Structure 1
């Protein structure tokens, strides 16, 4: 269907407003990241090629390494945006004390809770519904038109079993839960259908009633979560998507755990890498992020030689090679931050109106960067979030007030940031007495 030009422009403006709103809040925008990305062309190209390989039935992974302020979170968000544009379902999991790396059930639960498509967040129900609809469509295509509803339901349930036969050989509960979900929807028992989705997502406190009706014993735990993740990817592909792109962020928190827990978490990574290399996780792409200490510290990946050997890089020089297991990000510098500011002005022009580029000039932007970095030990890599939050405020004031001149009016006062600084920002902040 041809979309009228005004409607296309409206969507572009909506995206622009969303970007500016996120920068005002100091967060990463939900979409349109390519419009403010700087210096990531090579990395984005490598990730895009990996996704193309995974979309054809392969499996792959990438480890992203960088200090605070190097743009790990932004690159992860951009990578998942690229994946969704290529027809992948994505999910973003943050490793923490409540979701540690060695607890596969918790990671699987967060994967299911954060499933996202180009059209929808929290997309598990839509994915399962699309998968079941595709099965019914295939059956109807080869079945006489006068087939009864009961016959269609029986044939669909048989196809559910067949589609997940490889998973059912290891654990039959996934197929049983999906069959119960399908049957309860057809019978109008939406409470039971919701319970089936909850159990599939490893949600706690799913009642005994569901498990009795589904003929399932127990719950998803650490021992079978990996099997269920593979089954989930099969459902995602059967629903018409290219695969699953999964980001596992902030893995450096693993270093704070006891040795047994750390090593168990790192062995999970070995298990994933080996499964991908053996072709046991087709259409699955993993992104892992961490600081240099995670990779090289005594409590990090280096402490588990089999893992370190699998993801270590050949060399780290001026000619970065993101095709190696790790993408090594460099710190943000003044030139990159100034370029981001100019891109933000272009986005602002589409969200609201063309900024006054005489009042917000190159000279002013450079002066503003100097003012903020002077309060953070000269660390440009620490300030991008703070700078962009302040910068959008200046763009707003220039649009709202004709007599506002930031060159005269703006002076960075960090007092208003109390309570919202990260620990990294607080650590380098210069305190004035």
Structure 2
């Protein structure tokens, strides 16, 4: 078996393992994607524009079960394949958009690349290594360690100032991190990383040593985001993609916090439009209420004007700021199930397609949707977990007959139901 075959089988195993757990796989999403070719094309074109120096955003709009989180994960996968660093942030009461410092902190904590799951430190290190390499290329290998250090420190500040009109505090903290590592003061280096990542409890000794005050707050969070993008670019990546999931939770904030969150969003859009956040792509997901509800975006007319849709003549325009997703239907779920069978076959051996037939798949979908008010759109997660269980049992037991053995009973599953799944479940007395 070749290395590419090994990688393909490993990816297939990872996909099946994720489906068993009821989660979105970390990779290989193109193998499960059905009916989102247009959406993928739009996002891919935007990624190309951002890679060339633009800044852009997209709001993915859809009901629960429309596949927003899947499309978001697929967009992240596409971005990493194109050389972007990415960060997936769930907007919540702990990380509301009214507190930009918290959002910035989660971006840093969740920063990933194609090769690194926790990428914040590796990105900073790669940025500094690239600067050292440029200094050595210019000055030659005869340069002393002290000269290399001094020239690298000067280059850090020049690079940030040139790339992002950078804040002096960010550059000072990066410089302090570099010098602490050079001095083998790893506690100070860790404090510098924590401060750069927005951690609130970094000690006074670091701040005194670096010459910075306090912590990253609301007034500088967006400036620091631009600096972070500059560092990511300097580390060899084409830009940063930020996925902000479940933005509809903003509606649950107090009126003052909601207004602040929406004003922050408007400010972010204006930065993109003015070209002040180049090489950055923002993806938001939200239910229709975020865009249409009384506590949603339309409550702030200047923001609604920026991201509202034009007309509704029955022809969907995915190029507008809002990309509306249709609900998942039975036909799409059948296609996904057939793809899962192929993935399962690569992971664990050929599937008995006489026992687990296309006709059985349709019957299984009908059985599950019957327990959820006929709503196909709320069951994909549950269905795929149940379907993989059927495939497992068919592989393990030659006598297993899914037609007679399979029965969906939510009381017998230990996987918690989401609020949406519980809301439409049909209770049997």
Query: Do 2:166 and 2:226's aligned partners in 1 also have CA atoms closer than 8 Å?
Result: no
> Are residue 414 (structure 1) and residue 404 (structure 2) matched?
no
Residue 91 of structure 1 corresponds to 87
Out of 105, 121, 127, which is 1:109 matched to?
A: 105
Query: Do 1:13 and 1:351's aligned partners in 2 also have CA atoms closer than 8 Å?
Result: yes
Query: Do 1:167 and 1:227's aligned partners in 2 also have CA atoms closer than 8 Å?
Result: no
Residue 164 of structure 1 corresponds to 160
Query: Do 2:248 and 2:287's aligned partners in 1 also have CA atoms closer than 8 Å?
Result: yes
Determine helix, strand or coil for the equivalent of 1:279.
coil
Instruction: State the alpha-carbon separation in 2 of the partners of residues 386 and 260 from structure 1.
Output: 38
Instruction: Trace 1:69-84 onto structure 2 (pairs within 5 A).
Output: 69-84=65-80
- 5+ long unaligned stretches in structure 1: none
Using structure 2 for the length normalisation, give the TM-score.
0.98
> Are residue 45 (structure 1) and residue 41 (structure 2) matched?
yes
Residue 229 of structure 1 corresponds to 225
Residue 148 of structure 1 corresponds to 144
Residue 55 of structure 2 corresponds to 59
Residue 315 of structure 1 corresponds to 311
The range that moved more, 160-169 or 121-130, is 160-169
Displacement of 1:169 after TM fit?
A: 6.5
Query: Do 2:160 and 2:166's aligned partners in 1 also have CA atoms closer than 8 Å?
Result: no
Determine helix, strand or coil for the equivalent of 1:327.
strand
> Are residue 125 (structure 1) and residue 125 (structure 2) matched?
no
The range that moved more, 24-33 or 409-418, is 409-418
Determine helix, strand or coil for the equivalent of 1:255.
helix
The C-alpha deviation readout for 1:120-165, integer Å capped at 9, x for no partner, is: 1110111011111111111111103211010011000001111122
Instruction: Trace 1:127-206 onto structure 2 (pairs within 5 A).
Output: 127-165=123-161, 171-206=167-202
Instruction: State the alpha-carbon separation in 2 of the partners of residues 231 and 212 from structure 1.
Output: 21
Out of 199, 205, 221, which is 1:209 matched to?
A: 205
Instruction: State the alpha-carbon separation in 1 of the partners of residues 76 and 31 from structure 2.
Output: 15
Displacement of 1:166 after TM fit?
A: 5.7
The range that moved more, 169-178 or 28-37, is 169-178
Determine helix, strand or coil for the equivalent of 2:111.
coil
Out of 382, 385, 409, which is 2:381 matched to?
A: 385
Displacement of 1:190 after TM fit?
A: 1.2
Displacement of 1:319 after TM fit?
A: 3.3
Determine helix, strand or coil for the equivalent of 2:86.
strand
Using structure 1 for the length normalisation, give the TM-score.
0.97
> Are residue 245 (structure 1) and residue 237 (structure 2) matched?
no
The range that moved more, 54-63 or 319-328, is 319-328
Instruction: Trace 1:227-376 onto structure 2 (pairs within 5 A).
Output: 227-316=223-312, 318-376=314-372
Instruction: State the alpha-carbon separation in 1 of the partners of residues 3 and 184 from structure 2.
Output: 38
Displacement of 1:204 after TM fit?
A: 2.5
Instruction: State the alpha-carbon separation in 1 of the partners of residues 41 and 163 from structure 2.
Output: 34
- 5+ long unaligned stretches in structure 2: none
Displacement of 1:332 after TM fit?
A: 0.5
Displacement of 1:417 after TM fit?
A: 3.5
The C-alpha deviation readout for 1:29-88, integer Å capped at 9, x for no partner, is: 000000000100000001000000100111000000000000000000000100000000
Out of 85, 90, 96, which is 1:100 matched to?
A: 96
Displacement of 1:191 after TM fit?
A: 1.3
How many aligned residue pairs are there?
429
Determine helix, strand or coil for the equivalent of 2:2.
helix
The range that moved more, 89-98 or 213-222, is 213-222
Query: Do 1:16 and 1:350's aligned partners in 2 also have CA atoms closer than 8 Å?
Result: yes
Instruction: State the alpha-carbon separation in 2 of the partners of residues 209 and 403 from structure 1.
Output: 69
Displacement of 1:318 after TM fit?
A: 4.5
Displacement of 1:167 after TM fit?
A: 8.2
Instruction: State the alpha-carbon separation in 1 of the partners of residues 203 and 220 from structure 2.
Output: 20
Instruction: State the alpha-carbon separation in 1 of the partners of residues 382 and 314 from structure 2.
Output: 28
Instruction: State the alpha-carbon separation in 2 of the partners of residues 305 and 119 from structure 1.
Output: 42
Instruction: State the alpha-carbon separation in 2 of the partners of residues 73 and 109 from structure 1.
Output: 21
Determine helix, strand or coil for the equivalent of 1:48.
helix
